[in-house]
Amino acid sequence: MMGTNVILAVGALVIFGTFLSSSNHLMTVNTQIAEQNEYYITAISLGQSVIAEAKTKFFDQKVVGRTIPLTVPDSLSVVLGRDGVLEAIPSPDTLTTAAPYSSTNPGYVSTYKFNDVDDYNGYYRLVNTPRAEGYQIRTKVQYTSPSYPDSVRLTPSFCKRMSVTVKSPFIPDSIIIAYAFTY
């Protein structure tokens, strides 16, 4: 009788140990997935913030300050990108406290230097968050068809597509977010 109880006790301990080990493994995997999802969500938010910043700008350098809208796409800028020294920014653009920002209200140079959407073509931003460092954000702006924003055009049109790519050492793949701006 005593031998049977010992065998049952040892069997119960083996089953309990197996259950404990597998549940510990599951909790570890769930924690890793939750952390990775947090990095993905942050990457998406950072990409969307660049698009939101660009939404506050003019469509094209040729329409800055104009009261009469352009009617012919050929009137738009042929070259997409920054328009000279006044729009020169550091690469990568990082959070700064330089004027007009302050130590209590930091910002990115692109916010006040860029005045139109295509200034973000070739833009590179490096972001460090409290939980993770090294988010690399790169943008590409291209003319596209208003009817088919996934098709790239080499000639000016009243539609520009911004593709924002976000990389992080904490996520295995890049996040790509695209947005079409129309005039």
Q: What is the pLDDT of residue 22?
A: 72
| Residue 117 near residue 57, CB atoms below 8 Å | yes
Q: What is the pLDDT of residue 26?
A: 74
Q: Band of the pLDDT at 9, cuts 50, 70, 90? A: confident
| pLDDT tens string 57-100 | 999 999 988 888 888 888 898 999 998 888 999 999 999 998 88
Residues composing the chain: 183
| pLDDT tens string 95-153 | 999 888 998 989 999 999 999 999 999 999 999 998 889 999 999 999 999 899 899 99
Give strand pairing partners of 23.
none
**110: its two tokens:** 């692109």
Q: What is the pLDDT of residue 43?
A: 96
| Residue 135 near residue 174, CB atoms below 8 Å | no
> What SS3 string covers the chain?
CHHHHHHHHHHHHHHHHHHHHHHHHHHHHHHHHHHHHHHHHHHHHHHHHHHHHHHCCECCHHHCCCCCCCCCHHHCCCCCCCCCHHHCCCCCECCECCCCCECCECECHHHHHCCEHHHHCCCEEEECCCCCCCEEEEEEEEEECCCCCCCEECCCCCEEEEEEEEECCCCCCCEEEEEEEEC
At residue 140, φ and ψ (nearest 5 deg) are: -135, 130
Chain-centre distance for alpha carbon 62: 28
| pLDDT tens string 13-43 | 778 777 767 777 777 777 888 889 999 999 9
Q: What is the pLDDT of residue 131?
A: 85
Distance CA 45, CA 31 (A): 21
Is the confidence at residue 1, as pLDDT, over 70?
no
